[in-house]
Chain A
Amino acid sequence: MRLVFPNPGLDNRILSHEDLDRMEKEEGDRPKWDNKTQYMLTCVGFCIGIGNVWRFPYLCQTHGGGAFLIPYLILLVLEGMPLLLLEFAIGQRLRKGSVGVWRAINPYLTGVGIASMLVSLLVGLYYNTLIAWILWYLFNSFQDPLPWTQCPLNDNGTGFVPECQRSSTVDYYFYRVTLNSSTSIADSGGIHWPIVLCLLAAWTVMCVCYIRGIGTSGKAVYVTAILPYIVLAIFLIRGLTLKGSLSGIKFLFTPDVNELINPKTWLDAGAQVFYAFSLAWGGLISFSSYNPVHNNCVQDAVILTAITGFTSIYAATVTYTIIGFRATEKYDTCISDNILTLLNAFDLPEDNITTSNYETALNHLNSSYPDTVLGLDIKTCDMQTLLSEGVEGTGLAFIVFTEAITKMPGSPFWSVLFFVMLLCLGISTLFGNIEGVVVPLKDLNLLPKKWPQEAVTGVTCAVAFIICLLFAQHSGLYWVTLFDNFAGSVPLLTIGLFEMIAVVYIYGIDRFNEDLEYMVGHKPGIFWQVTWRFISPLIVLVILVFYMVTQTQEELTYLVWDPNSEQFPSLALVPYPSWINAVVFLLAGVPSLAVPVYALYALDCICLHSRFVVSFVCLGLCMFRQKM
């Protein structure tokens, strides 16, 4: 006997197989993909995002290089692929968006769809801000020399602005010129209008690409999904011809098998797989619902998994050729500077000390004149440190890569190419995102039914733009990091877990198997059965529990750009203000709790409901305050 919760009335809420066959022949008004390629490219574009370029290479390198691929690929197959097929199949079978699907399975489960919509909305907001920053850099790449190669002069023209002098031109350009960062998240400092214009551009581009739903976005993906691969190939060829690229690749892939014993490696691999597949956002369910009923979704899931795995490794390789090049350049400059300092101090002829005899010369001088050498302040040039600095997140794209590009001949061309690639990666992910917001809004009847798709898209983009002005403040960078850490982590894992439980134990795994047999022609094999029922939910549960435990134990801190701090030019680690706990609860708690809260609301526990919700909120806040 299978463990299935009683689910009366399920047959009344969903279309039967005969209905589906009939609908296949009729010309319905539900949107459809023009061809299979469009669907696959949309899914590929959704899954392959900016995280593949700036999150996976960092994880790979810090968790033992080549050895990280083992947990990553294992979890890709055991955790990612089953959930992927689950979302594909349920969307294709029930022919509805995320809210519609869960509502059809059981009205008490509508909360899962609502949670997906909230998460898609919150993530979409900060993701499009990243797109706005990318657009800013793209617009500024059409000039030679690039603006982040030069420091502005100070008032009397004898030197550079001290903030730029003490850090670097690229740091200054990102933190001061682009964002005009304040020193704390509480210090909003007003709106920075260049970012407002870029946000406007980002949301308008999204609006025009999605204005007719998948009708327009399906055409746009031909460019946004394919162009990144071409650009990565160009960068790979360019990168391999640069000096020092191979040291970067070696650094990336050098395996450290000891990392496999570290549980954090497996946790990070699992979390990365989960986010890489854009699971639990609701977009994949929507996209699959536009497929013909007999589309082979099993094959699609396997192909998409393979493409994601391959692209992650491919992007990581390209990224680390460029990082290796930059580190080598900085190392060479460091050594040359030290050589010059020594030559100047001891008035030796220029070719006395070269890069080859630097070490011996330094030791000789140190032993003969230790005091003088000490007073010279010789910098230690360490290749490993240079290879590991700033290689994650926004730091990678806007600081490390921009600096590397300035050292390549023909910098504006490479800069334009790089930011166009990031733009395409981001936009194609946002298509799935906006699908996961707009379709539930229509299903929940929050927008009038008679509005055409264009009006729905336009209103959604306009409202989202206004909310995004939060990120256009001087403290915008800190808000983006906050959203990144909390809106996109715990809620997604929670929703994923609920999805699996809902399909396997509430919809019924037997019924699901029959559906797949009807759609694809054969029942899913033993691998799928085992992973759907036990392995994948277990993995997600373990990751979720560990995440929550580590998050609640750590003190909430963040990195700020503060020219007056002692660690400048490194970012300073400061604690969050106390009111941030309420914001974190809103970002992470509300979507996660949407499932149980909605279920209780639907059970007509009205008098209990409001008191329950209020007391729950208070409990949550008390927990966080106590933890402080």
Chain B
Amino acid sequence: MLWKVLLLLGLSSAWAQKLCSPGASDGYKVRLSINSALGDQAYVWNENEMFLFRATLAFAMRTYSDGQEYDVANVVVCDETPRVSFWFVVTSPLDASLLVDKRRVEEAVRKSRSRINSAFLLTDDTLEFIGIPPTLEAPVAPDTPPWLIAFGVVMGGVGAGIVVLLVSSVVQKIRKKRDGEEETGGKTENEAASDAIYNMSFSDDEPVTQM
């Protein structure tokens, strides 16, 4: 009995390996660049990390695909390289010989990309799924373009400067005109006063000369 179980296990793993192969139509290649992402803090890629990957992918399939109970065994991995790249395929939980369609896998990976990235402390660039482009973040676009604010400030300042300078020129001109008028007005008054004095003294002389 035991040998039958062992044979079945061996056969199923061999079958699973046959399902997964480099260039499989329903599989994807994954590439990790742990050293360039983490530098000194880089961890070593080993069996446990691979187990985490398979578990994360199973989680993604469970949550974002058809809701079936995917398990770690459903994610089959092959062709591991020292680069840290490998191929994987996902088998259906109902029938281990059936592969899940490429598009469903892609959809699940896309939707849970940030969870998968953070599980490995990597980013879209350093954890690549070849064939699944990451959805790019749109550039931050504020409601009012900041340059209009700066433009408004500058124009306001300059406009205020023009107004101030023009007003001060006009005020200066008015003041100059007023000073000029006062001077000429004062002069004529003085002349009238000296004339009156002069007339008085002239009329005083008259009785003396007549005698």
**Residues in chain A within 8 A of chain B (CB atoms):** 135-136, 138-140, 142-143, 145, 147, 150-153, 157-160, 194, 197-198, 200-201, 204-205, 207-208, 211-212, 216, 340, 343-344, 347-351, 452, 454
Q: Are B82 and A348 neighbours in the complex by a CB distance under 8 Å? A: yes
Interface residues of chain B: helix, strand, loop or mixed (majority): helix
Q: Which residues of B contact A200 (CB under 8 A)?
A: 155
Does the CB pair B139–A150 fall under 8 Å?
Answer: yes
Q: Is the beta-carbon distance between A211 and B154 smaller than 8 angstroms?
A: no
A14 to B136 alpha-carbon distance, docked (Å): 74
Stretch at the interface among B6-14, B30-38, B187-195: B30-38
- When A139-B147, A349-B82, A350-B35 are in contact, do A159 and B166 touch as well, CB less than 8 Å? no
- State whether B83 touches A211 (Cβ < 8 A): no
Q: Is the CB of A212 within 8 A of B83?
A: no
Binary contact track B66-104/A, C-beta < 8 Å → 1, others 0: 000000000000000111110000000000000000000
Q: Which A-chain residue is minimally distant from B83 (CB atoms)?
A: A347
Q: Nearest Cβ in chain A — how far from B120, in angstroms?
A: 14
> Are the C-beta atoms of B135 and A197 separated by less than 8 Å?
no
Measured between alpha carbons, how far is A340 from B166 in the docked complex, in Å? 65
Of the listed stretches B49-57, B156-164, B178-186, B198-206, chain A binds B156-164
Inter-chain CA distance A140–B146, complex, in Å, is: 7
Contact with A along B122-162 (1 / 0, CB 8 A): 00000000000101101110100011111100110011011
Q: Complex formed: what's the CA distance from A184 to B136 in Å? A: 33
Tell whether, in the assembled complex, residue A208 and residue B34 are in contact, meaning their CB atoms are under 8 Å apart.
no
Measured in the bound complex, the distance between the Cα atoms of B149 and A140 in whole Å is 10
In the complex, the answer to whether B151 meets A204 with C-beta atoms within 8 Å is: no
12 more CB-based (< 8 A) A-B contacts, given A150-B139, A159-B133, A194-B147: A139-B147, A151-B139, A157-B136, A158-B133, A158-B136, A159-B136, A160-B136, A197-B151, A201-B154, A347-B82, A347-B83, A350-B36
* A198→B150 CA distance, assembly (Å): 11
- Known contacts being A153-B138, A157-B136, A344-B31, is A208 close to B151, with CB within 8 Å? no
B121 within 8 A of A: no
A-B contact count (CB 8 A): 86
Q: Are A348 and B169 in contact (CB under 8 A)?
A: no
Which residues does chain A contribute within 8 Å of B159, judged by CB atoms? 204
| B31→A350 contact, CB < 8 A | no
Which residue of A is nearest B31, CB measured? Answer: A344
With A142-B150, A204-B155, A204-B158 in contact, do A158 and B83 touch (Cβ < 8 Å)?
no
**In the complex, chain A residues whose CB is within 8 Å of the CB of B165:** 208, 211-212, 216, 454
The answer to whether B83 touches A201 (Cβ under 8 A) is no
User: Within 8 Å CB of B150, what residues of A?
Assistant: 138-140, 142
Residues of chain A within 8 A (CB-CB) of B154 are 135, 139, 201, 205
Contact B35 A158 (CB under 8 A): no
Chain B residue numbers with a CB within 8 Å of A159 are 133, 136
Contact B162 A347 (CB under 8 A): no
Asked if B139 contacts A153 (CB within 8 A), the reply is: yes
Within 8 Å by CB of B169, from A150, A194, A454, lies A454
Chain B residues within an 8 Å CB radius of A140: 146-147, 150
Cβ contact within 8 Å between A347 and B85: yes
Whole-angstrom CA separation of A348 from B150 in the bound complex: 51
Interface residues in chain B, defined as those with a beta carbon under 8 Å from any beta carbon in chain A: 31, 33-36, 81-85, 133, 135-136, 138-140, 142, 146-151, 154-155, 158-159, 161-162, 165-166, 169
Q: Which of A142, A194, A198, A211 contacts B146 (CB 8 A)?
A: A142
A65 to chain B, nearest CB (A): 37
**CB atoms of A143 and B146 under 8 A apart:** yes
Query: How far, in angstroms, from A160 to B135 measured CA to CA in the complex?
Result: 11
Whole-angstrom distance between the Cβ of A221 and the nearest chain B Cβ: 16
Residues of chain A contacted by B138 (CB below 8 angstroms): 153, 157
- 9 A-B residue contacts at CB 8 Å? A139-B146, A140-B147, A140-B150, A157-B138, A205-B154, A344-B85, A347-B81, A348-B83, A351-B35
Give Cα A205–Cα B151 distance, bound, in whole angstroms: 12
Query: Which residue from chain A places its CB closest to the CB of B37 in the assembled complex?
Result: A350
Alpha-carbon gap, A143 to B144, bound state (A): 12
Known contacts A201-B154, A201-B155, A349-B82; A208 and B162 CB within 8 A of each other? yes
Complex alpha-carbon distance, A343 and B149, angstroms: 48
Q: By the criterion CB–CB under 8 Å, are A343 and B83 in contact?
A: yes
Nearest residue in B to A149 (C-beta to C-beta)?
B139
Q: What separation, in Å, do the CA atoms of A344 and B81 have in the docked complex?
A: 10
A489 to B151, CA, bound (A): 33
A216 to chain B: which residues have CB within 8 Å? 165
Q: What is the CA–CA distance of A147 and B35 in the complex, to the nearest angstrom? A: 30
Minimal Cβ-Cβ distance residue in B for A137? B147
Chain B residues with CB below 8 A from A197, complex form: 151
Question: Which residues of chain A have C-beta atoms less than 8 A from B82's C-beta?
Answer: 347-349
Task: State which of B83, B139, B161, B169 has its C-beta within 8 Å of the C-beta of A208.
Answer: B161
CA distance A140 to B145 in the complex (A): 9
CB-defined contacts of B35 to chain A, threshold 8 Å: 350-351
Question: Closest CB of chain B to A536's CB: distance in Å?
Answer: 41
Contact between A153 and B146, CB atoms less than 8 A apart: no
Q: How far is the CA of A513 from the CA of B35 in the complex (A)?
A: 77
| Distance in Å: Cβ of A452 to nearest Cβ of chain B | 7
Q: Which of the residues A158, A205, A350, A351 comes within 8 Å of B158, measured between beta carbons? A: A205
Q: State in angstroms the CA–CA spacing of A474 and B107 once bound together.
A: 42
Using Cβ atoms and an 8 Å threshold, which residues of chain A touch B162? 204, 207-208, 211
Question: Do the beta carbons of A344 and B83 come within 8 Å of each other?
Answer: yes
A143 to B83, CA, bound (A): 39
Residues of A within 8 A of B166 (CB): 211, 454
Residues of B within 8 A of A198 (CB): 151
A198 to B, closest residue via Cβ: B151
Give chain A residues whose Cβ lies under 8 Å from the Cβ of B33. Answer: 340, 350
CB-CB under 8 A from B155, the residues of chain A are: 200-201, 204
Residue of A nearest to B130 (CB): A344
Q: Are B169 and A212 in contact (CB under 8 A)?
A: yes
CB distance from B17 to the nearest CB of A (A): 19
CA A9 to CA B30, docked complex, whole Å: 93
- Interface pair B169/A350, CB less than 8 Å apart: no
Q: How far is the CA of A199 from the CA of B151 in the complex (A)?
A: 11
A350–B83 contact, CB under 8 A?
yes
Residues on B with beta carbons closer than 8 Å to the beta carbon of A344: 31, 83, 85
A442 to B140, CA, bound (A): 51
A152: chain B residues within 8 A (beta carbon): 139
Task: Let me know if B147 and A350 touch, CB within 8 A.
Answer: no
Residues of B within 8 A of A143 (CB): 142, 146
Contacts of A348 in B (CB 8 A): 82-83
Q: How far is the CA of A145 from the CA of B151 in the complex (A)?
A: 19
B147 contacts A136, CB within 8 Å?
Answer: yes
CB <8 Å contact, A350 and B133: no
User: Using Cβ atoms and an 8 Å threshold, which residues of chain A touch B151?
Assistant: 139, 197-198, 201
Contact yes or no, A350 B139, CB < 8 A: no
A455 to chain B, nearest CB (A): 10
